[in-house]
A and B are shown apart, each in its own frame.
Chain A
Amino acid sequence: METKNSEYILTMSHVNKSFPGVKALDDVSIRVKRGEVHGLVGENGAGKSTLMKILSGVYTKDSGEVVFDGQVIEKTTPVESLNRGMSIIYQEFNLVQTMTVGENIFMGRFKEVGGMRGTHKKARELLDSIGSKIRTHTLVKDLSTSEMQMVEIAKALSFNSKLIIMDEPSSSLTADELKALFQIVRQLVQQGISVIYISHKLDEIFELCDSITIMRDGHVIDSKPVADLTRAEMITKMVGREIENEYPPRPECVGDVLLEVSNLNSHKLHDVSFQLHRGEILGLVGLVGAGRTEMIRALFGADHVRSIDVKMEGKPVHIKNPRDAIALGMALVPEDRKLQGLVLPFSVGANISMAALKNISSGPLKVVNGSKEKELSQRQIEDLLIKTPSAETKVVSLSGGNQQKCVLGRWLEMNPKVLILDEPTRGIDVGAKFEIYLLMKRIVENGGSIILISSELPEVLNMSNRVLAVCEGRITGEFNPVTDSVDTIMDKVLG
């Protein structure tokens, strides 16, 4: 049994957590020493955020033991774990934009710190202790991202935190701000506070962390001092996964150039150029926030850009909005099917026929031909093996895989020349994934082209004919997924 004076501030042993259809955490054990920076790395979906949410009390674990500061913790709530001395600083800050820095730090505790005067006095002390010069009377909305982060850290300290968990703290910081953050983290550690530092960026992990835990698919792959690991080992452990027979044979039908994008600049993208061939599956790999989604949104006319030149079949074209893109034969299956792909109150049939309505309506009033519409949605339901009781069933009641097939069906009806798939298999079970891969194969074999974005590297590597690495809004490398190794690609992805 751990005691109050144990060497470890946090011990998690054999923690399990399942969601319907997914095992999010499988026998996870992690130990964090007092006064160390513990790095937590892993791909998206590896289970890092589930782990955090169990610690903070948003989720309840299915089994296993969590010991924090000598106390066994069975069930907790975010407020309880905060009072116990565990703070989490999320990527999206928990700050009220329209209130002052001091008020944010002591929100809900004004009485305990002695009213407004006490609030600002104590807030000043806390900010001074981490060397921050932000005025406590400033409104949070007037702060920069790094300053907001300082406020979050001060807030964590105000709870006398013994463990601070930082989720991707560096994602929106400049190099100088990052240096300042590192200094503060080191200072916290000297005071005996432990920090769990979650990041994708290996350089930061090597510079800052004392030990590290690597997660993949809900398992802890390795947990050891940073000094015992090389960068290459770490990458292999992060992504290296037995590639079984989960993919159909790669389609090989690449033709001439279909689409040419050049000189694409926006506030997040810098001088992006790429080509897409007929019958090609082009994979874009990169971390979340690297600019992959922004690239295809810009191409699709959904975002404002500073400049972009697009040539389709050799002719320059102008795409001002998604409708122009669709008229040119493009189609986009967006990242979040519930937010951007499906109209949830609609039936399966209405969701499928949405984009094709203009092809099946006639007359000056554009009356939709009901029987053609039924025929169309029925055809896609049968073609894609969408498991639904009928076309009239509400799309909400379908499983994730079948929902995704509805979005795909909508676009297949349009026979797109360029099909853009943004995370097409996220949250979908293995069987449905395979069906979607087969579908992609069929599309390119029938002369379509696909741009595939996916955070699952094996998926991109097994399905694409060509892979582009994206990092910080730039294309940092072009690879052949057959001949180039995973490690060389990941190296470019991590920048």
Chain B
Amino acid sequence: MEQKAYTLQDRAKGFGTFLYGHKAIAAIALLYLIMLFYSFGNTTSFFSSYSQTLIFQKSTVNIIVACGVTFAVMVHSIDLSIGGMLALSGVLVIKFMEVMPAWLAIICTIAIGMLVGAVNGFFIVHQKLEGFIVTLGMGVLLKGVALQLTNAHPISADLSFNDLAMGNHLVFGLAKIPNMVIIMLLIVLIFSLILRYTQFGRNIYAIGGDYGVAEYAGVPAVRQKWMAFILSAGLTTVAGIVNSSYLCAGNANYGDMTAMIVNCAVVVGGTSMAGGVGGVWQSAIGVLFFSALEITLQNLVPNAYIIQLIQGFVIVAILFLDSYDNKRKREQV
């Protein structure tokens, strides 16, 4: 009897440490719990398949962005240019499609995105400027370009472009899943594997954990840190294309909140701003958390201003936890 109680307690403790290590999963679980209790006394559409699909759809674009940003945060930096990049790439791909076939337009847009990432990398890695300011400035610049290109009006794409994101096929003969979700899942899978199992991925951890040590150990630190920013911008471009296809339109004002939300989501997911700790799938969970939070709040509080207030509060609270955790770890050293 006593033996069994002990193992149960042990398992509970193990589960506790897991939740502590994966705060975003714990937070999502908490949200669902809240909604579960709420649904006992009130009518809510939260558990309807519509709402649940909405959480995923809302997340898809941001998760693709977050995959890239994870690399930038992993190397102990940040990428705030993604907001502007998301808007610009959505506009660019539509503009390109007016003069060239869709596949070429997509390739050209991604190439431009990677170029922007390379420029970010040049300033941050090569010139050793502060990543926060460089990418913030770059984001403003990119949005400016997008505004100029569109004359600040939304532009619409050919309706067939919508198929890229919303076309669906039977997967394993089970359910029809929109392409954009499949693209997102593939990207999460591929980049998770790259980060975890390749030499490049392992070096990214080392560069973020301690740049000097990595350099001494023969890691091509400059090149691979640079690569992190190229990936960040490149994947954001992919997200921008998917977003435009989903909405069948391009708008320079898309992504105004993306930079903040995604960077927060990456950190909330468990990628430390101190670098060297984290992962791609954790970031995806972080984004899911923010989408779930938004839908939950829409169910609980009708006032949109209050929603934003609570979102902001949650972001600060989680960043505080992260810094508290880091401080505790530093003191152990």
- Residues in A neighbouring B200, C-beta threshold 8 A: 365-366
CA distance A339 to B214 in the complex (A): 11
A346 touches B216 (CB 8 A): no
A355 touches B218 (CB 8 A): yes
- Residues in A neighbouring B206, C-beta threshold 8 A: 343, 346, 354
What is the interface of chain B mostly: helix, strand, loop, or mixed? helix
Residue B103 at the A interface, CB < 8 A? no
- Residues in B neighbouring A338, C-beta threshold 8 A: 333
A410 touches B217 (CB 8 A): yes
A345 touches B213 (CB 8 A): no
Q: Which of A346, A365, A367 contacts B209 (CB 8 A)?
A: A346
Q: Which of A300, A340, A357, A367 contacts B213 (CB 8 A)?
A: A340
Nearest neighbor of B330 in chain A, beta-carbon distance = A344
B216 touches A368 (CB 8 A): no
- Residues in B neighbouring A365, C-beta threshold 8 A: 194, 198, 200
Q: Which of B203, B214, B219, B276 contacts A345 (CB 8 A)?
A: B276
Residue A60 at the B interface, CB < 8 A? no
A345 touches B209 (CB 8 A): yes
B198 touches A396 (CB 8 A): no
Residue B294 at the A interface, CB < 8 A? no
Residue B277 at the A interface, CB < 8 A? yes
Residue B205 at the A interface, CB < 8 A? yes
CA distance A396 to B209 in the complex (A): 13
Q: Which of B199, B210, B329 contacts A343 (CB 8 A)?
A: B210
A302 touches B216 (CB 8 A): yes
Chain B interface size, as a band, is: 20 to 34
CB distance from B267 to the nearest CB of A (A): 15
Residue B167 at the A interface, CB < 8 A? no
Within 8 A of B (CB), among A338-392: 338-346, 350, 354-355, 357-358, 361, 365-368, 370
B202 touches A368 (CB 8 A): yes
Quick one: given A345-B276, A396-B333, are A358 and B216 in contact (CB under 8 Å)? no
Nearest neighbor of A321 in chain B, beta-carbon distance = B215
Residue B332 at the A interface, CB < 8 A? yes
Within 8 A of B (CB), among A176-231: none
Residue A433 at the B interface, CB < 8 A? no
- Residues in A neighbouring B219, C-beta threshold 8 A: 323, 354
A358 touches B199 (CB 8 A): yes
CA distance A321 to B217 in the complex (A): 11
CA distance A338 to B197 in the complex (A): 26
In the complex, how many residue pairs between chain A and chain B have their CB atoms under 8 Å apart? Answer: 79
CB distance from A293 to the nearest CB of B (A): 13
Residue B212 at the A interface, CB < 8 A? yes
Against B, the Cβ 8 Å flags (1 = close, 0 = not) of A323-345 are 10011000010100011111111
A346 touches B205 (CB 8 A): yes
CA distance A338 to B332 in the complex (A): 13
B198 touches A334 (CB 8 A): no
Residue A45 at the B interface, CB < 8 A? no
Which of A300, A302, A354 gathers the greatest number of chain B CB atoms within 10 Å?
A: A354
- Residues in B neighbouring A458, C-beta threshold 8 A: none
- Residues in A neighbouring B202, C-beta threshold 8 A: 350, 354, 357, 368
CA distance A310 to B332 in the complex (A): 42
Q: Which of B198, B214, B217, B277 contacts A368 (CB 8 A)?
A: B198
Within 8 A of B (CB), among A240-286: none
CA distance A358 to B206 in the complex (A): 14
Residue A78 at the B interface, CB < 8 A? no
Residue A70 at the B interface, CB < 8 A? no
- Residues in B neighbouring A345, C-beta threshold 8 A: 209, 276-277, 329
- Residues in A neighbouring B214, C-beta threshold 8 A: 343, 354
Nearest neighbor of B222 in chain A, beta-carbon distance = A321
CA distance A344 to B333 in the complex (A): 8
B209 touches A332 (CB 8 A): no
Residue A85 at the B interface, CB < 8 A? no
Quick one: given A368-B197, A368-B199, A368-B202, are A354 and B217 in contact (CB under 8 Å)? yes
A396 touches B212 (CB 8 A): no
Within 8 A of B (CB), among A292-331: 300, 302, 321-323, 326-327
Residue B220 at the A interface, CB < 8 A? yes
- Residues in B neighbouring A366, C-beta threshold 8 A: 198-200
Which of B198, B203, B329, B333 gathers the greatest number of chain A CB atoms within 10 Å?
A: B198
Within 8 A of A (CB), among B155-203: 194, 197-200, 202-203
A342 touches B198 (CB 8 A): no
CB distance from A416 to the nearest CB of B (A): 11
CA distance A368 to B198 in the complex (A): 5
CA distance A95 to B193 in the complex (A): 49
Which of B197, B216, B333 gathers the greatest number of chain A CB atoms within 10 Å?
A: B216
Within 8 A of A (CB), among B284-333: 329, 332-333
Nearest neighbor of A355 in chain B, beta-carbon distance = B217
Nearest neighbor of A397 in chain B, beta-carbon distance = B332
- Residues in B neighbouring A302, C-beta threshold 8 A: 215-216
- Residues in B neighbouring A326, C-beta threshold 8 A: 217-218
CB distance from B324 to the nearest CB of A (A): 16
- Residues in A neighbouring B197, C-beta threshold 8 A: 367-368, 370
CA distance A338 to B210 in the complex (A): 10
CA distance A354 to B218 in the complex (A): 9
- Residues in B neighbouring A339, C-beta threshold 8 A: 210, 212
CB distance from A313 to the nearest CB of B (A): 20
B199 touches A361 (CB 8 A): yes
- Residues in B neighbouring A322, C-beta threshold 8 A: 215-218
CA distance A367 to B205 in the complex (A): 15
CA distance A327 to B219 in the complex (A): 11
CA distance A377 to B276 in the complex (A): 20
Which of A's residues lie within 8 Å of B, judged by CB? 300, 302, 321-323, 326-327, 332, 334, 338-346, 350, 354-355, 357-358, 361, 365-368, 370, 396-397, 410
Q: List 8 A-B contacts (CB under 8 A).
A: A334-B216, A340-B212, A343-B206, A361-B199, A365-B198, A365-B200, A368-B198, A396-B333
Q: Name the 9 nearest CB pairs between A and B, nearest first.
A: A343-B209, A366-B199, A326-B218, A355-B217, A361-B199, A343-B210, A354-B217, A357-B199, A323-B218
Given A338-B333, A368-B197, A368-B198, 17 more pairs with CB closer than 8 A: A323-B219, A323-B220, A334-B216, A340-B212, A342-B210, A344-B209, A345-B276, A346-B206, A357-B203, A358-B199, A361-B198, A361-B199, A365-B200, A366-B199, A367-B197, A367-B198, A410-B217
